[in-house]
């Protein structure tokens, strides 16, 4: 029942030490290994991680990091029969692994089990909104993806070929969930804590711009491109509620674009456009019980909708190819 814990990291010098310590404590009495999969940190992340008995692997400088490449990088160096995936800014709950291993032992058809990701950042609008959001993938029991990570069976991962698609800048957990469920496996969320997540302590709008530049917002488009023409395409489209939202955003923008040409005077059309924008923001503010959250939600919609086609038409590499990397520290 040994576990390979993969810690994805990129510029996490402030959090990687506590993250590793939480994992080492959780592995006591279980056994396993800790792999820090570094995406090319430019700070002291690797130096801090090297203080601990962990294996550190790092992308070659010519390889651009992505959300999908980190898990696969760690997986290609792992050995144990169970894989625990988490980020370098998370603290692992000390009791999660025993409970998760016991659940997998009792349920041989389950490929992975997770718990609650407790958001500790209560200052950024992004994480406040995330903490309030009620989504199907956050429910207890059988789920369609393990957002934030969790514990997987190596046998299930090997059956579907690879842990995560190196091309994806987001939605890599959903892609894995679709591939696993297509092979008859299920995923499960326990009603207990998995990790505490500290997130980015920067302004939410600055984070949105950073995610645009890094390609993170292209994730859903890349996910659709990866599944296009494959058996899981129909299932993926049906299970992504975001697609309906982005479709509504495209319709909204199209209506606003033509309104100035349909009214007797362009100024009237622009005035109606402004009223529509104000109405949408007011509606979201009422739902979120906060004007700042409502405004941020609408701005985030526009960023995501604009990034979707960019991701869909972005080039792809073979997802299971060996990722060029180097071992910085190897602990047997």
E strand or H helix at 126:
helix 125-132
As a whole number, mean pLDDT of residues 272-286 equals 93
- The pair phi, psi for residue 167, each rounded to 5°, is -80, -15
Model confidence over 217-266: pLDDT tens digits? 999 999 999 888 888 888 888 888 788 888 999 999 999 999 888 888 88
Residue 131 has pLDDT above 70, yes or no: no
Model confidence over 20-41: pLDDT tens digits? 999 999 999 899 999 999 999 9
Higher-pLDDT residue of 279, 129: 279
- The pair phi, psi for residue 251, each rounded to 5°, is -65, -45
E strand or H helix at 92:
strand 90-92
pLDDT the model gives residue 332: 66
pLDDT the model gives residue 137: 58
pLDDT exceeding 90 applies to what percent of the chain?
Answer: 68
pLDDT the model gives residue 52: 97
Please provide the DSSP assignment of 190-217 as one string.
EEEEEEEE----S-HHHHHHHHHHHTGG
Model confidence over 32-74: pLDDT tens digits? 999 999 999 999 999 999 999 999 999 998 888 888 999 999 9
pTM listed for this prediction: 0.87
pLDDT the model gives residue 94: 94
Higher-pLDDT residue of 135, 172: 172
pLDDT the model gives residue 133: 65
Q: Which of 280, 308, 129, 126 is CA-nearest to residue 223?
A: 308
CA angle 171, 218, 232 (to 5 degrees): 45
- The pair phi, psi for residue 50, each rounded to 5°, is -70, -10
pLDDT the model gives residue 264: 81
Model confidence over 142-163: pLDDT tens digits? 999 999 999 999 999 999 999 9
CA dist., res. 252 & res. 256, Å (int): 6
């Amino acid at each position: 029942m040994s576990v390979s814990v993969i810690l994805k990291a990129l510029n996490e010098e402030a959090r990687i030490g506590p993250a590793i310590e939480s994992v080492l404590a959780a592995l006591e009495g279980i056994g396993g290994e800790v792999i820090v999969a570094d995406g090319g940190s430019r700070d002291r992340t690797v130096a801090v991680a090297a203080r601990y008995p962990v294996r550190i692997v790092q992308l070659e400088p010519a390889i651009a990091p992505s959300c999908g490449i980190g898990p696969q990088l760690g997986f290609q160096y792992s050995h144990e029969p169970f894989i625990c995936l988490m980020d370098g800014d998370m603290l692992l709950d000390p009791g999660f692994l025993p409970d998760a291993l016991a659940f997998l032992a009792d349920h041989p058809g389950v490929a992975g089990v997770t718990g609650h990701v407790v958001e500790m950042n209560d200052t950024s609008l992004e994480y406040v909104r995330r903490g309030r959001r009620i989504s199907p993938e956050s429910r207890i029991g059988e789920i369609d993806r393990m957002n934030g990570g969790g514990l997987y069976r190596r046998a299930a991962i090997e059956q579907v070929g690879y842990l995560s698609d190196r091309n994806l800048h987001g939605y890599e957990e959903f892609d894995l969930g679709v591939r696993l469920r297509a092979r008859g496996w299920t995923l499960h969320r326990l009603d207990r804590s998995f990790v505490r997540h500290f997130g980015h302590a920067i302004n939410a709008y600055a984070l949105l711009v950073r995610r645009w530049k890094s390609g993170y917002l292209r994730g859903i488009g890349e996910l659709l491109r990866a599944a296009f023409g494959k058996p899981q395409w129909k299932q993926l489209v049906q299970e992504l509620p975001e697609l309906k939202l982005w479709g509504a955003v495209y319709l909204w923008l199209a209506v606003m674009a033509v309104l100035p040409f349909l009214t007797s005077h362009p100024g009237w059309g622009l005035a109606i456009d402004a009223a529509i924008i104000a109405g949408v923001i007011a509606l979201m503010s009422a739902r979120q019980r906060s004007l700042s959250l409502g405004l941020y939600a609408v701005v985030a919609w526009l960023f995501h909708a604009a990034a979707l086609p960019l991701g869909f038409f972005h080039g792809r590499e073979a997802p299971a190819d060996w990722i060029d990397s180097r071992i910085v520290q190897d602990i047997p």
